[in-house]
Structure 1
Amino acid sequence: MAMSNNITALVNFIALMCSIPIISAGIWLASKPDSECIRWLRWPLVFIGIAFLLVALTGFVGAYWKKEGLLGLYLVLMFMLIVLLLVLLVLAFVATRPSGAYSVPGAAFREYRLAGFSAWLREHVTGDDNWAGIRACLAESRICPRLGGKYISAAEFFAAHLSPIESGCCKPPMVCGYQYAGPTNWNGAANIVADVDCAMWSNDPRQLCYNCESCKAGLLGNLRREWRKANVILIVTVVVLICLYVIACNAYKNAQLEDTVKR
């Protein structure tokens, strides 16, 4: 039984270390400016990572001090957390699969159509019930104002690789034909009927294109890009955790058999 417990303790120590990339990915996502405006999306991944850490610590203590009750509890809780993380990964993959992006002639950045994103994201993030608060948060953020210090000339601006949220919220759609006067200052739309967002644009720093469909699409574009990066880390971590869980189950089973033989 000592050997089995040592294996389980080692497995749980590695599992404990695996909680670090989950927590780190959650903190990285929460630190993004767009996440500050979508509070319910900020911390779930961090909480899941902390839960993994606590459960792995429980298993380590149970194995090190030969507490079979704690080991059994660890296996049940770890199974539930792995399933939860798998569900989160599947949902994130499905929800972030469509991109809604399209190229803009003569510009390095891309623009985004709201209809190009998943219905789930549109409903839960940019729906009418949520957008008023998100819009106010974006207007108070430094996302758009900071562009004024980065790009002076039109050439610099059109050569810039703007983030989706900068492209969607801080300028009017290019199809409108507005003339560049600054990153957040555009004049004289030549084709205001080309897009419903054309009439929404305002040079007022508190307005800009925060009411535009393109801004909603840009926000979803940012979320999609960030979650897809985080998913790479999470996929590797969950594969390692599943392997560790299988090893821990076998070690626990062997320990039970050893106890039965001794009796």
Structure 2
Amino acid sequence: MPPPRILTIAGSDSSGGAGIQADIKTITVLGGYAMSAITAITAQNTLGVTAVEVLVPALIAAQIDACVSDIGVDAVKIGMLGSPEIAAVVADRLGALAVPVVFDPVMVATSGSVLADAATIAAFERLMQLAVLTTPNVAELAALGGHQAMQARGVTYLAKGGDGEGERVDDVLVVPGEEPHVMSGSRIHTRHTHGTGCTLSSAIATYLGKGLPLAEAVDRARLFVRSALRAAPGFGAGSGPLGHGEARG
């Protein structure tokens, strides 16, 4: 049986810990075939983002078209977009595909660098409606209006709790018409958390591409991230990368 074909649409992380690089590592380790549409080139490392060059929308569209028209696709992960125009062209392309889409609404990097402006956030609306799952962290959920606003949109989302306080990490899966499903785990104390959101969303997309139900895909992806956190190689002076290659899927 061939591996699921997973397309990641995101920015490039020069240090390899997050973005396209983290996605490709995750998809590959979990048995998927990784393809990419790069939205932006960043100069970054474990200490922060020092430069960003956003690519033109037509080039992102061309990358998506090239992958879909030849290889095909079983699931899509969306990460950093970089502009409202890119968000719009991605929504246009994905609207024609009947495959699960996982949308990680990247706005702020772990370092604190802002990666999306107000207009881009507004453009996220179409993508949240297209996606089978949106995965905001604490700050992103607040920027999107909180739980009440997300539920009013009628979208399915995973409110990630890794950036919260306390010794327990609660991730809440909210599906319209159902009771919220809380998935908890003990906090793993480590500074090596660069790319956790990218890894989680691409892992969920890979499991969905394999045909797993949403709740199971989320649960297994969470376990993969926790394994990768424990396997972190210890690189960098700041928020270091995960140990994708040593993690268990």
Under TM normalisation by the shorter chain, which class is it? under 0.3
Larger Rg over CA atoms: 1
Higher relative contact order (CA 8 A, sep 6+): 1
TM value normalised by structure 1: 0.22
Task: Compute the TM-score of the two structures, normalised by the length of structure 2.
Answer: 0.23
More strand by share: 2
